[in-house]
Amino acid sequence: PWFHLRRDTALRLIWVAVIGDWLNLVLKWVLFGERPYWWVHETKFYGAGPAPSLQQFPITCETGPGSPSGHAMGAAGVWYVMVTALLSIAREKQCPPLLYRILYIGLWMLMGLVELVVCMSRVYMAAHFPHQVIAGIITGTLVAEVVSKEKWIYSASLKKYFLITLFLTSFAVGFYVLLKALDVDLLWTMEKAQKW
């Protein structure tokens, strides 16, 4: 609840969410990540042997590419901002060294636990392969780290926000049109999701 009271943290959270989602979309278009429940039916990996039986439920029916994991990426980015913000507050309040050390270890362990649960659930549901959730964690953390180092976001004008939003939207649409012009089927996942 305190995150909305600290403007700098709220701004970082918004930027991490926006840039993270945008980057996730673009990376999914480029990386063409299969989902386990499609891949298992179409791979030649198992040869003549039986493929594992994966059960799909409405909640696990993903219709887009799988790499990197948006859930792992979003959780990593948001938690990174929250943990670093809490540690920054502890430093500002001149927290005693031992208490700060306990807080430091505890918060990073909590983030690790949350990421582990998010990633395990995505792999367990056969929505992602392990490497896709790992890529999501790395990418989300990098986005949060880069955004956290950018000081201009705290004083940006409405015009600058508008121009950045326009750029991100234009880039995504332009990239989509370019890929379509190159005859890249960006809806390849829909057929697989409906088939399996």
> Do the domain assignments include residue 17?
yes
**187 belongs to a structural domain:** no
Q: Which residues have a catalytic role annotated?
A: 71, 128
In a domain, 140, yes or no: yes
Mean pLDDT on 142-149: 96
| Domain membership flag for residue 167 | no
- Provide the domain count of the chain: 1
Residue 91 lies in a domain: yes
Confidence of residue 188 (pLDDT cuts 50, 70, 90): confident
CB-based contact 60:124 (threshold 8 Å) = no
Separation of alpha carbons 135 and 28, rounded Å: 11
62 assigned to some structural domain: no
- Residue 72: pLDDT above 80? yes
Is the pLDDT confidence value at 47 over 90? no
Quick check: pTM over 0.85? yes
Confidence of residue 3 (pLDDT cuts 50, 70, 90): low
> pLDDT band for position 168 (50/70/90)?
very high
**Considering the domain boundaries, does residue 169 fall inside one?**
no
Distances (CA, A) of 11 to 2, 99, 156, 196: 13, 28, 10, 41
Residue ranges making up the domain that contains 17: 2-53+67-156
CB 105 within 8 A of CB 86: no
pLDDT in tens, 128-142: 999 999 999 999 999
Nearest C-alpha neighbor of 115 from the set 82, 75, 60: 75
Query: Strands, DSSP E only, in the chain?
Result: none
CB 10 within 8 Å of CB 3:
yes
